[in-house]
Amino acid sequence: MPSEAEKLAINRTTNLFVVTGPSGVGKGTMIAKILERVPHIAKSVSATTRQMREGERQNVDYFFCSSEEFFKMKLRGEFLEWAKFTEHYYGTPRSWVEKSLSEGQDVILEIEVEGAKQIRQKYPQAVLIFISPPSYDELKSRLQSRATESPERILTRLEKAKEELNSKNLFDYEVINDNLDEAIGNLEHIVYAERLRITR
């Protein structure tokens, strides 16, 4: 028998939040705080063909897999959306997301713009949030100081960022990550406001 809290969670309408923004803008840090602060919300773990970075963990940060495994999953229809970002593939596992939503849990996807467009098509009621840097130069210096990528890869990501910044009109909300605490607060407000929405 579900407890009262579980029943409440199951009966409420769930939300699919999609958080996008250029690489290095701070999406991961912001989402980690939302998961700490807000109940009944979980982040989906994507599959990727890129190499694990120092400090990342298998099945926690990503399901790191080979291109062959990725394409088998894709053929089996296991991705809700997928995209190639720079030279690697990334995809959202469909079954986990659908199960979480049906069990009363809100879900956050942290994905790039092409994937967000696919989600918009499949789930028109999804809430799309774009995280912007205060400026392009600030993004550049954040990516350089993060130093998780080689200088050439940073350049590729910056080129990609230009394209992504041009797509922000597809989104429902924009949060500018200038002051991190304020940006996290704004993201939290969006989550709570969407939970109070009557119509979509």
Query: Which residues bind to ligand 5GP, rule: CB under 6 A?
Result: 23, 46, 50, 81, 83, 85, 90-92, 110-112, 114-115
Residue number with CB closer to ligand 5GP (39 or 124): 124
With both helix axes pointing from N to C terminus, report the angle between 136-146 and 151-165 in degrees, rounded to the nearest 10: 150
For 173, phi then psi, to 5°, come to -135, 150
Other CB atoms closer than 10 Å to residue 174's CB: what's the count? 13
Which residue has the closest beta carbon to ligand 5GP? 115
Rank residues 16 and 83 by Cβ distance to ligand 5GP and give the closer one. 83
Local structure of residue 14 (DSSP, 8 states):
P
Catalogue the E-assigned strands of the chain: 16-20, 41-43, 47-48, 63-64, 79-85, 88-93, 106-110, 127-132, 173-176
CB of residue 196 to ligand 5GP, shortest distance in Å: 27
From the CB of 179, what's the least distance to ligand 5GP, in Å? 21
Choose between 78 and 172: whose C-beta lies nearer to ligand 5GP: 78
Smallest distance from the beta carbon of 14 to ligand 5GP, in angstroms? 19
CB 21 within 8 A of CB 128: no
- In whole angstroms, how close is the CB of 10 to ligand 5GP at the nearest point? 26
Which of 136/197 has CB closer to ligand 5GP? 136
Three-state SS annotation for 134-169: CCHHHHHHHHHHHCCCCHHHHHHHHHHHHHHHCCHH
CB of 5 to ligand 5GP, least distance (A): 30
Q: What is the DSSP letter of 51?
A: P
Whose Cβ is closer to ligand 5GP: residue 6's or residue 136's? 136
Q: Find the shortest distance in angstroms from Cβ 199 to ligand 5GP.
A: 28
Residue with smaller CB distance to ligand 5GP, 79 or 190: 79
Three-state DSSP class for residue 112: coil
